Chain A
């Protein structure tokens, strides 16, 4: 009997001990969930559920103003998008073509400006850094409207400056930046450069994180500025470049504001400004085709996801993370 009592008390003690260990862990987990719950709730309410809802919308012919008349149409929206709507593929091609032009230019210019702003030879660094960052604080639409005037073929100062060099630029036979399919992307890229302050700052932060001993050692070894840039700076800031590349790629796929403000979504000239997001916006909000709009949104989401995963796949080959080589 006493044996039984002893073993029972041992079991109870053991259980009590286990419960205490489990309770502590659970308590920690609970507190953890408690502290991240605002984000979890926000994510669920404003991202996860809307995404699920939009996936369901893709199977409906759904107009916001008459929700009662929403009709289940199965995969018709997907069929229309993939096989019938020519604008989808044309606008995707326009978007990708423009991304291949604007993304490298934007990233290279931002990087070179960051190198310049990080140079020990530059006087008034703080002033220049402020000046290059300042445009990002101006609302995008306001700055685009200014550029509409800057590039005006009759009155804009870009054409006036070009004429100083003896090139016929003004007027209907001159450089019509927003009317000529061969010039419009250049104008858009130029407008895009106006807002690269954020990318410059991120690059600058990366450059300032490169240990100066590496440059000192390279200088002693007789390395030129270009060699230092190529052999030290670029590898050391490659995570930052990678970060900018991922954000830039996603941003390029979502390119919308500039063509929308300048061309009102008309696609003029010759459909060159009918970017994918313009098509999405018009279908969803101008024509109220919410079901079809949701389908288009899913397509661009999948493309952005694939592009991002592909970039991550390549990152092992060219992005240098200090410390990883020891693994």
Chain B
């Protein structure tokens, strides 16, 4: 009797379960799409309401899809997403995320090529080079252009005024006019000369003066802030440490670049070395915000750091090398998880985020829209932001102009065995910026050999 009761209960449970699962697959039900935010910007409290508005607007205009927003704090986002992938519970759409963040999840992203073709997606509003930027050999078209962050020079004009030096040019191709009125090409040599004039020790001496004390520097001339070897060397032209055949190389421009930076840190002393870069003098690592460095190269995402700036600053273009200027570019977009069960619906969401919602979201994230039609409005809005409020004569045109001089191939472009090879390159740079005795002639061949070993693994 007891067994019969148990059997009956079991059958009832099975019937209920079957009924429930039956109702959940009805064709008319909207498809649920999860949008994961946190790998890049977007998880900050003040940014959440606008993203919720975007979700609401999408859901109202797409009755067949329910878009759900999942926001994870940036510190936890990588672990959380990895865990979701491993548990077979991956979100459908992920972003905004940059190239480096994307490459933390190798093989996890859907190739959008077929969906772009099937839906006849209009790409005419994008720079073709930016579309190609997301085409990864062996993996396909992993994203569409959304938000870009050009880089340029941030110039502390107070320090220039104090030294009686003219500011660097704000237009590509223009020369630098020095304090004696001489015009010289705005290139890496001129940058070096100018930066040395702006580097000062506790006695007010520059590296050009006799008695300059390199152990007591209180002001630096130039720094490539918050970037790595690949980012820094983009000043000398875009290049990758791998050739078309997958062979590890150390590009010629990198040889010049590493020597230039080594001299800048340890011989000419105008660029912060590792210990100076992490010191209180330069606000730990936020160099430009410290007010003790005359010029840095950073991207548009840095503006928020200057909201309460106590000193005057402006923008200038990056110098050229061998007659060509290269301003490294960061770019954010959205990806679709390869594990999604609803690629078409996920693509509809992605199209909306890089389309109708693009203006709103790029403003929110502080990015310049990749859509050409939205770029004019971007500068007007940026001029009203806290970093620029009350400042006059700002060289805003430097921003879109720099986008046109982007580094292609990009300094964040994927490498074979990207995670491990990037780690090896970081090791190289860490030693270069911390060890004055670092021997480039010995270390460069070692780096290339190690990279080749890592490229051969996967």
Contact = CB atoms under 8 A, between A and B. Distances in A.
- Genuine A/B complex: yes
Contacts of A179: 274-275, 434-435
A152 B278 contact: yes
Given A170-B215, A269-B431, A287 B420 contact: yes
A174 B215 contact: yes
A155 interface: yes
A153 interface: yes
B214 interface: yes
A173 B275 CA distance: 13
Interface string A157-190: 0000000000000111110101100000000000
A172 B87 CA distance: 50
A68 B87 CA distance: 10
Contacts of B104: 65, 288
A286 B426 CA distance: 13
> Which has the most chain A C-beta neighbours within 10 Å: B79, B81, B281, B427?
B427
A143 interface: no
Given A149-B279, A266-B427, A65 B434 contact: no
A260 to B, nearest CB: 13
B430 A176 contact: no
B83 interface: yes
Contact of A63 (B107, B214, B275, B339): B107
A73 B169 CA distance: 59
Contact of A67 (B88, B214, B217): B88
A92 B69 CA distance: 44
A68 B274 CA distance: 42
A266 B338 CA distance: 32
B26 to A, nearest CB: 28
B83 A64 contact: yes
B215 A67 contact: no
A148 B278 contact: yes
B108 interface: yes
A155 B284 CA distance: 11
B281 A267 contact: no
Contacts, number: 93
Interface in A258-280: 263-269
Nearest to B275: A153
Contacts of B426: 264, 266
A64 B85 contact: yes
Interface in A100-148: 148
A65 B278 contact: no
A287 B419 contact: yes
Interface string B338-353: 1100000000000000
A66 interface: yes
B44 interface: no
Contacts of A178: 275, 434
Contact of B106 (A63, A173, A285, A290): A63
A155 B81 CA distance: 40
B349 to A, nearest CB: 20
B434 A282 contact: no
A268 B108 contact: no
A324 interface: no
Interface string B76-88: 0001011101111
B280 A288 contact: no
A154 interface: yes
B100 to A, nearest CB: 12
A213 interface: no
Max count, chain A CB within 10 A of own CB: residue among B88, B106, B278: B278
19 contacts: A63-B106, A64-B83, A65-B86, A66-B107, A149-B280, A155-B280, A178-B434, A263-B430, A265-B423, A268-B427, A268-B431, A268-B434, A269-B434, A285-B79, A287-B423, A288-B82, A288-B106, A288-B419, A290-B86
Interface of B: 79, 81-83, 85-88, 104-108, 214-217, 266, 274-276, 278-281, 284, 338-339, 419-420, 423, 426-427, 430-431, 434-436
Interface of A: 63-69, 148-149, 152-155, 170-174, 176, 178-179, 263-269, 282, 285-288, 290
Given A149-B280, A155-B280, 16 more contacts: A64-B85, A65-B82, A65-B85, A65-B104, A67-B85, A67-B86, A154-B215, A154-B216, A154-B279, A154-B281, A179-B274, A263-B430, A268-B434, A285-B79, A287-B423, A288-B82
